[in-house]
Amino acid sequence: QVQLVESGGGVVQPGRSLRLSCAASGFTFSSYGMHWVRQAPGKGLEWVAVIWYDGSNKYYADSVKGRFTISRDSSKNTLYLQINSLRAEDTAVYYCARPVGATAMDAFDIWGQGTMVTVSS
């Protein structure tokens, strides 16, 4: 079945780095733009970043621009989020999400279960 599985979260000290992964299965990963969305504890959803189906375009939320890098490896059906210079306010569950159709900027019909990132000294 169509599935997204995130990994790579954990407890990290401020200023350190982390790489999150999202393994996709059950669909043609290389045909879809992919997104990261995060949710701080007890808060709402915040869109983080998108990468086009072929990696040709990437966009970021202002709150993460310059510190986060989204990438993909279609040979491995995997999406990544490199997070540098971690801050306390980056503490959140990070979800990867797939849009409904081939248009990258769309509603998200497939979500992973999320991976928790906690930034704490």
Residue 4 Cα distances to 14, 35, 49, 101, angstroms? 28, 11, 16, 16
Nearer to another protein, 53 or 95 (CB): 95
- Rule CB under 8 A: which of 87-106 touch another protein? 95, 100, 105-106
Among 62, 66, 75, 89, binds another protein (CB under 8 A): 62
Whole-number Å distance between alpha carbons of 8 and 118: 11
Query: Does 23 sit near another protein (CB under 8 A)?
Result: no
Q: Give the type of residue at 93.
A: V
Query: Does 111 sit near another protein (CB under 8 A)?
Result: yes
CB neighbours of residue 118 within 10 Å: 15
Give the residues lining the site for another protein (CB under 8 A): 35, 44-47, 50, 59-62, 95, 100, 105-109, 111-114
